[in-house]
Structure 1
Amino acid sequence: MRRRAADYRRRLEGSYRSGSGRFLGCLDCRASLFVFHHHHHEDQLKQPIQENHAREEPVNHEGLNFTNEILSATSFARQLAEQMTLAKAYVIIAKEHNNLHLAWELSKQIRSCQLLLSKAAMRGEPITQEEAEPIISSLSFLIFKAQDAHYDVATTIMTMKSHIQALEERANAATVQSTMFGQLVAEALPKSLHCLKVKLTTDWLKKLPLQDLAEEKRNSPRVVDNNLYHFCIFSDNVLATSVVVNSTISNADHPKQLVFHIVTNGISYGAMQAWFLSNDFKGATIEVQNVEEFSWLNASYAPVVKQLHDEDSRFIIFQEQNADQTLWKLGTLPPALLAFYGLTEPLDRRWHVLGLGYDMNIDNRLIESAAVIHFNGNMKPWLKLAIGRYKPLWERYINQSHPYFKIVS
């Protein structure tokens, strides 16, 4: 018994609009409809390609915006993009049902569609009906084939939901991994700076006059002169410490009135001494000390140390509670703020502008008026991933002509 084409088209169109059309939301139903005729045991497919007579008129395509083209309701680019989106969904479903041949056929047509869209974008001209018709017809047939295989809307939704959940889990895992890798990169020392540190440590061990000079400076009365301005710096990064000292004395009216007490660890002590003893800092006094030699730093000697030990216990408790990183991601600042809650005082932002290691949108006027700028975050200025617009603020205080930088570069 022959079925009239018009009746079949109306039934199919109604079914599609109540099914996959709702699932994808933004899909144009015309993108996947076709008319199916039964005649003498032969099936013939006809795709209702969108007729757009405006395409046949001469048009100046210079400066074509392909984004607007693919969003246009009358363009073949949009029709192809919508069909491709639906086809991608059915590729996943076909694979779930082990229908690998259908998945392969859909993937093949998707690649053809992507290639055509790419060529159109490169040449800056719209896709013509002649180019679009073969792909639209093939995709329409395959999409109907997928629907005919009972890959209905409910199946589609359940399958896509499970894939979305899996993708969310992978995205969350990737975010955690990225954060950890970012922290490792921020804490790592570039090869050039490591070589600088090795060279300076070698100088400290081989050049005995440097050690004699260090002893002389340690006994200088300026180190304990309360009429001078004293600054304490805790760091194991030679270059970063040098930049802090250079930036301070460069912006001081009387650098000879400044005293810097640098506290570092045993590994960095020799390199730090060699650097600050071998360079001129405009008459400022610089003392380098090894924290591991602070025998007096114990609770029985100083009550304040006992208080710090108590706060340190609170710090450790918070760290243990965050073993699964549910309280905060990485870093020591959050638990430190918790441990020392109520014991700190806020600074006016003009005194301390922070975020130059992660915030790319700090107002230049705020930076220029700041007393101190802080490169907190993972994008440290001595790393390749540093934020470019802030890097000159750091580099201006590095003596690029120093022979050691030529050696390690």
Structure 2
Amino acid sequence: MPGKRRWSWLVIAVLGLVLLSMLVPLAFLLGLHGGFHSVTHTGYATEQRSSASSRKDAALDSPLTKEGLSTRVDGLLKNLGPTLPKVLYSVGVSASFGFNMDFRRNSVKEAENRTTGFAVPTQEVKPPPKRHDVGVSSSAEVTKTIESIGEGQKMCELKFGSYCLWRQEHREKMKDFIVKKMKDQLYVARAYYPSIAKLPALDQFSHEMKQNIQEFERILSESSSDTDLPPEVEKKLQKMETTITKAKSATVDCNNVDKKLRQLVDLTEDEANFHMRQSAFLYQLAVQTTPKSLHCLSMRLTVEYFKTSPVDADQSESLLNPELLHYVIFSKNVLASSVVINSTVMHARASRNQVFHVLTDKQSFFSMKMWFFTNTYKDATVQVLNIEDLDLEGHDRTTFSSLSVPQELRVSFLNGDKLSSTESRTEYISVFSHLHYALPKIFSTLKKIVVLDDDIVVQRDLSDLWSLDMDGKVIGALQFCTVKLGALRSYLGKENYDANSCTWMSGLTIIDLVRWKEQDVTRTYESLVLQRLSKEGKETEAARLRATLLTFQGLLVALDDGWVVSGLGHNYGISNEVIKKAAVLHFNGNMKPWLELGIPSYKAHWRKFLNREHRFLSDCNVNP
């Protein structure tokens, strides 16, 4: 009896193993088969299509990639996110400094957005605005990005900013009439095939129809224009037309055909939306990363610096003399800072009185030093400072230890549901970074300075700024009254500020350092940052941005509009007359003049102040 029991358990175990060995491959095959696009999309049940188009469609229709297609971009953004500037947004408004897209956080409220037709923040759902409602907030806060749902160029601009303008400007007219006709026939054939395949009497026709569909998919996977099509394409078009005519004459359930066709249209729209977002992301990545040629230039200059070890001339008398005209530039870009200095000097009445202080980080310091050592700018004095070497005693070293260039805020206006050109547009506002608040400490011996962004070009003499009557104010800058602080209340909160006060641009700013110290502006800024941090947590970037928008209330004198014309980095509609009259051209926006994506008609104003004779420019193929 014990022997029989042992044998019975052994038999049961063997049978169990045999059963498992059969079930596991079967489950695998069924799971793999269930993921094929042939079952869920067109009804094919016997073989996997070989074309790249079918694989792409399968990815779109499968449960994995309804979220998966966007997830691939989301994952890439998650990895790149910490190295890119933050994203800002609000109801009816999209804003960013630098990188104005965030695909990581725009899927949760998509269904609500589609039904309401306006952007919905994640923490609170508000009704559509009845008038202009402008606001911003930061991706430094863990919140969702705005998704403005709608059609047309204006809604595209609200979602993706200057990318849509660039795409429209560089759109190429493709000769793809036959390709489009093939796609139309393919849609119709796919819609009819599942119903045809269910009719046993039409097995032969069903097989023929499937072959035609697969052949079209193969051709379209390799062709995007008519010139790419094979010579026998006309015969294939005629054959498919005959097949569709025969399918339409068959007795099928029209509801199934209609349902399948609608499914194909929805999937195509999803795919088009995904590719739009993906291409916009790649555009944003291109405008935020350093071009290969500029990186090469920086490396060559750095190597040359350590090879030659240049010695600076004694310039201490000029650098400390408060009677001279002192300009300050925050920049990591050698060419950009060089163009700013060159254009300023070329239009100066007396370049001997001009002193330029270029503040940069440790990584760019040696290339900057070498460039300005080998290039002269008439009789002007140029000093390059490494912020990590500065004595900032009394300031938080963690706050001022890294270079932060002026930040750009993208604000898109949406007036209710109307999308006319006069009621919806996108603007870029440049604001001070936290390092600007250390200027009185860095230049303690000076009385007045002019701060220049590195994306400007000077066309007139700027010496009149030092005789400007500032009426006891701290800074003078160009006001931007299209956006007022009251319109940003959803972002700024309920702080004490004048709702009718205009925002301002930091491209050209004159600062009275004596009044700054008397008003203790730096302490005001730091206290605003601490207040924000105590209320909102540890998101310091968002707190700093809010604080810099509120610091200069009542302390700013508006410059005349003739001083600066802005928008050359995103606005295609600025006339040549306006550009010629301005003293300063400000390339605020994503399309900077040193990038390939810059607006071609404006680049000439920047390019003519570039020293093209430097040997490293040709060695590194620098040709902006």
TM-score by length of 1: 0.59
The residue that corresponds to 1:340 in the other structure is 549
How far apart, in 1, do the equivalents of 2:603 and 2:350 lie?
A: 27
- Of Structure 1 and Structure 2, the greater strand share is in 2
Q: Which residue, 356, 364, 373 being the options, matches 2:568? A: 356
Quote how far apart the aligned CAs of 1:82 are. 8.9
Q: Which residue, 276, 296, 299 being the options, matches 1:198? A: 299
Over 3 Å counting, the alpha-carbon distance change for 1:174 and 1:138 in structure 2 is closer
The residue that corresponds to 1:22 in the other structure is none
How far apart, in 2, do the equivalents of 1:319 and 1:203 lie?
A: 47
Aligned-partner residue type, residue 389 of structure 1: S
The residue that corresponds to 1:373 in the other structure is 585
The question of whether the paired residues in 2 share the 8 Å contact of 1:193 and 1:408 is answered with yes
Quote how far apart the aligned CAs of 1:392 are. 1.5
Tell me whether 1:255 sits opposite 2:358 in the alignment. Answer: no
Structure 1, 235-244 or 96-105: larger mean CA deviation: 96-105
Q: Which residue, 374, 377, 388 being the options, matches 1:292? A: 388
The residue that corresponds to 2:252 in the other structure is 149
The residue that corresponds to 1:307 in the other structure is 524
What SS does the corresponding residue of 1:223 show, helix, strand or coil? helix
Note the 1:123-202 alignment, pairs <5 A: 138-145=243-250, 148-150=251-253, 152=254, 154-202=255-303
Gaps of 5+ in 2: 1-176, 199-205, 228-233, 397-440, 442-516
How far apart, in 2, do the equivalents of 1:299 and 1:343 lie?
A: 20
Structure 1, 261-270 or 102-111: larger mean CA deviation: 102-111
What SS does the corresponding residue of 1:359 show, helix, strand or coil? coil
The residue that corresponds to 1:280 in the other structure is 376
Quote how far apart the aligned CAs of 1:96 are. 8.9
The question of whether the paired residues in 1 share the 8 Å contact of 2:192 and 2:257 is answered with yes
The question of whether the paired residues in 1 share the 8 Å contact of 2:187 and 2:264 is answered with no
How far apart, in 1, do the equivalents of 2:183 and 2:279 lie?
A: 31
Tell me whether 1:400 sits opposite 2:505 in the alignment. Answer: no
Instruction: Number of aligned residue pairs: give it.
Output: 304
The question of whether the paired residues in 2 share the 8 Å contact of 1:314 and 1:339 is answered with no
User: Which of the pair has more CA radius of gyration?
Assistant: 1
Q: Give the number of the structure with larger relative contact order, counting CA–CA contacts within 8 Å between residues 6 or more apart.
A: 2
- Of Structure 1 and Structure 2, the greater helix share is in 1
Quote how far apart the aligned CAs of 1:84 are. 7.7
Over 3 Å counting, the alpha-carbon distance change for 1:304 and 1:86 in structure 2 is same
What SS does the corresponding residue of 2:286 show, helix, strand or coil? helix
Tell me whether 1:91 sits opposite 2:190 in the alignment. Answer: yes
How far apart, in 2, do the equivalents of 1:340 and 1:265 lie?
A: 25
Quote how far apart the aligned CAs of 1:356 are. 2.5
The residue that corresponds to 1:123 in the other structure is none
How far apart, in 2, do the equivalents of 1:236 and 1:360 lie?
A: 27
Aligned-partner residue type, residue 229 of structure 1: L
The residue that corresponds to 2:422 in the other structure is none
Q: Deviations over 1:215-240 (max 9, x none)?
A: x22x22x2233332222110011111
Quote how far apart the aligned CAs of 1:135 are. 7.2
What SS does the corresponding residue of 2:612 show, helix, strand or coil? coil
How far apart, in 2, do the equivalents of 1:316 and 1:170 lie?
A: 41
How far apart, in 1, do the equivalents of 2:215 and 2:521 lie?
A: 72
What SS does the corresponding residue of 1:340 show, helix, strand or coil? helix
What SS does the corresponding residue of 1:362 show, helix, strand or coil? coil
The question of whether the paired residues in 1 share the 8 Å contact of 2:212 and 2:240 is answered with no
Q: Deviations over 1:236-266 (max 9, x none)?
A: 1111100111111112222222221111001
Over the matched positions of the two proteins, sequence identity in percent amounts to 28
The residue that corresponds to 2:333 in the other structure is 237
The residue that corresponds to 2:363 in the other structure is 267
Note the 1:6-45 alignment, pairs <5 A: none
How far apart, in 1, do the equivalents of 2:271 and 2:182 lie?
A: 27
Quote how far apart the aligned CAs of 1:274 are. 1.6
Over 3 Å counting, the alpha-carbon distance change for 1:314 and 1:272 in structure 2 is farther
How far apart, in 1, do the equivalents of 2:570 and 2:265 lie?
A: 30
TM-score by length of 2: 0.41
How far apart, in 2, do the equivalents of 1:203 and 1:251 lie?
A: 31
What SS does the corresponding residue of 2:596 show, helix, strand or coil? coil
Moved over 3 A (4+): 81-87, 95-112, 132-139, 154-180, 297-322, 332-339, 341-350
Gaps of 5+ in 1: 1-69, 71-76, 120-126, 323-331
Aligned-residue RMSD, C-alpha: 4.6
Q: Deviations over 1:59-103 (max 9, x none)?
A: xxxxxxxxxxx9xxxxxx9xxx99984762342453698777435
Quote how far apart the aligned CAs of 1:105 are. 3.7
Quote how far apart the aligned CAs of 1:402 are. 1.9
The question of whether the paired residues in 1 share the 8 Å contact of 2:529 and 2:543 is answered with no
